[in-house]
Copies of this chain bind each other. A is one copy, B any other.
Amino acid sequence: MSAGILALNFVSSPGAGKTSLLVRTISDLKADRPIAVIEGDQQTSNDAERIRATGVPAIQINTGKGCHLDASMVGDAFDRLPPLEGGLLFIENVGNLVCPAAFDLGEAHKVVVFSTTEGEDKPLKYPDMFAAASLMLINKMDLAPHVDFDLARTVEYARRVNSRIEVLTVSARTGEGMPAFYAWIARRADGKPTASAAE
């Protein structure tokens, strides 16, 4: 990625809430710095349309039979975006806990979005993804009481496959916990001039 851009690659199961999380994040942060989004899905441009409704540019990539984005797709999409100097590039990968783990898209960090409805054992069952991520955002905390979600066990399992993974709990629906995520982004975007230096 170009100098001065913080690129984050969001990965998760289908339906963990990546797009809702990005919509809220963009609405809350777009006044502070430029933001653009690259969306990956097998089919449809629904997600790019939801992002564009926030007022920031978004490029949709359809992967067809493919189960992940690759660096060449992302590079082509990036070239079609307006200049993003000093800004944030959010890449929303195809919803899939297996394939996207193995592909570096030029991002500073992978952020794995995990929802409370998925069951605490997923970090153990899909370890490559949790090992590749710098941050686990535990989303849908508003649903946690309805599914007897065990936060401590989830964190323990995630740390078993990645002792350095950071964990934040959020609800993209209610906004709970989002300021801590924005602070996490700001620490990486400020005072660290390039995405690669932020590693």
Contact = CB atoms under 8 A, between A and B. Distances in A.
A94 B13 CA distance: 12
A192 to B, nearest CB: 32
Chain A contact residues (Cβ within 8 angstroms of B): what range? 20 to 34
A128 B127 CA distance: 26
Contact of A15 (B13, B42, B46, B143): B13
Nearest to A126: B42
Contact of A125 (B14, B115, B122): B14
A56 interface: no
Interface stretch (A27-35, A97-105, A177-185): A97-105
Nearest to A94: B98
A85 interface: no
Contacts of A66: 98
A42 B119 contact: no
A49 to B, nearest CB: 11
13 contacts: A14-B118, A14-B125, A15-B118, A15-B119, A42-B125, A43-B124, A65-B102, A67-B98, A67-B99, A96-B97, A96-B98, A115-B117, A117-B140
Top 9 A-B pairs, shortest CB-CB distance: A15-B118, A67-B98, A117-B117, A13-B14, A13-B13, A15-B119, A41-B125, A14-B97, A44-B124
